[in-house]
Amino acid sequence: MNSAITRVFAFLLICLGIYLWIGYTVTELTGGEKTASAAVEITPEGGETIFWGKGRCYTCHSMGGQGSAVRCPNLGQFGERFELPIGARAELRAKERSEETGRHYTATDYLVESLAKPDAYIVEGYKNEMAIVYAPPISLNLDEIQAVLMYLLSQGGELDMVVFEEPSEVTSEYFDRILAATAAGGGDPGNGEIVFEDYCQECHAIGGDGGEVGPDLSSISVKGKQFISDSVTAPTGDITEGYETFEVVQHDGRRIAGIKKKDDVSGIDIMRETGELVEIGRADIDEVVQDESRSLMPDDLTEALTIKDFQDVQAFLMMQKQEVVEEE
Ligand code: HEC
Ligand code: HEC
């Protein structure tokens, strides 16, 4: 009896062992979890893997005779329409961009732009339907994008690592954009700017443009992603100095709530959440109370925004590192 139990037990142990061993071998054979998160090599080969894999470029683009996608520009040499493969084609497009913008574009600049800000140049005959490849769901990081760029440049163009080691002005601007997007969890700052204009600009200025109810956000990126995210999800959590909410009670019983823009012997100026500035003479003031539990920043913004819009506006704010423009 006892020996039967032992045998069953031993059998089960062997089964378990085999099961674990198969699992382990399969993980090893498929490259395992180790390589899943390993850094991509910034080489044309590394980029080729991304192009035909994680980057999902192949779902829209073919490369010459390779691939089956037809609805977007072929990135290889293909028929009369695409006489040059993308590396060489980029040189011609760069000339066009230089003329349009008045800035000097290299082939690399053109290619970086076509990934970082696809709507900057729309290939004739196509629509602005290129994916934002550094935003979800594709979410390529800067290394992966640089690898893809190497792959594109290797298609009939000049390959030179210096373009990444000492990037030109145009290229570094776009690399910054991609880094900011990745740092913010992979949002699309282009859409983030539109979200900002729709939901935030009435109260916040960037680069001298926008409302004065809330703090200027021209250099908000220095406070970091977590701070930005907390400010939107829980505005009352940590109210920015100088932007506390006050309520001024007048002798006639009227109450005006908002942010104190001026407080001196002559009286108090209160800016309401609408941006309207109310000047109250000292003689009319009965009492001034600070409402610590309240921020003029709306606390229902997270409900108004989709998760994507929220990520996108964070990405846009992570790019803001300008000098604050002082108002006269
Ligand atoms: C959802 C489809 C889609 C995906 C995915 C996509 N693209 Fe595009 N791409 C387009 C479209 C449409 C255009 C043409 C419009 C334009 O110029 O923005 C384009 C244009 C381009 C151009 C400019 C071509 C030229 O002739 O100048 C390049 C380069 C490019 N894509 C590279 C890529 C790479 C690399 C990836 C993957 C990381 C990728 N695309 C993913 C749709 C896509
Ligand atoms: C009705 C006006 C109003 C709107 C709309 C508004 N905010 Fe604010 N925001 C404020 C005020 C007032 C403060 C300062 C009080 C505080 O910290 O809660 C503030 C603070 C902030 C801060 C902290 C700034 C700092 O330097 O401490 C950030 C970040 C911010 N808002 C982001 C946003 C974003 C993003 C949106 C749009 C999605 C937005 N706000 C919409 C009024 C507004």
Is the model's pLDDT at 138 over the cut of 50?
yes
Domain limits for position 204 = 190-235+299-317
Total number of domains constituting the chain: 3
For residue 90, what pLDDT band results from cuts at 50, 70 and 90? very high
Q: Which ligand 1 atom minimizes the distance to the CA of 145?
A: 38
Is the model's pLDDT at 22 over the cut of 70?
no
The rounded distance, in Å, linking the Cα atoms of 9 and 28 is 29
Asked if the structure places residue 201 within a domain, the reply is yes
Best mutation site among 203, 244, 271 for ligand 2, i.e. most ligand atoms within 8 A of its Cβ?
203
pLDDT for the residue 326: 55
Looking at all shown ligands, the one closest to residue 276's CA atom is: 2
Best mutation site among 40, 72, 82 for ligand 1, i.e. most ligand atoms within 8 A of its Cβ?
72
CB 203 within 8 A of CB 297: yes
- Same domain? For 140 and 109 the reply is yes
Asked if the structure places residue 251 within a domain, the reply is yes
pLDDT digits (tens, 9 = 90+) for 259-308: 999 999 999 999 999 999 999 999 999 999 998 888 999 988 888 899 88
- Same domain? For 94 and 64 the reply is yes
- Same domain? For 208 and 268 the reply is no
Least confident of 26-40, 123-137, 207-221, 247-261: 26-40
Q: Which ligand 2 atom minimizes the distance to the CA of 313?
A: 35
For residue 190, what pLDDT band results from cuts at 50, 70 and 90? confident
Distance 123 CA to ligand 1 centre (A): 9
Share of the chain above pLDDT 90, in %: 61
pLDDT for the residue 18: 57
Q: Which ligand 1 atom minimizes the distance to the CA of 122?
A: 17
Q: What is the mean pLDDT of residues 123-140?
A: 89
The rounded distance, in Å, linking the Cα atoms of 196 and 202 is 9
Asked if the structure places residue 142 within a domain, the reply is yes
Ligand 2, atom 36: closest residue by C-alpha: 200
Asked if the structure places residue 16 within a domain, the reply is no
pLDDT for the residue 19: 59
CB hemisphere CA count around 271 (13 angstroms): 20
Asked if the structure places residue 72 within a domain, the reply is yes
For residue 28, what pLDDT band results from cuts at 50, 70 and 90? very low
- Same domain? For 265 and 195 the reply is no
In this structure, what CATH number is given to the domain that contains residue 208?
Answer: 1.10.760
The rounded distance, in Å, linking the Cα atoms of 324 and 283 is 36
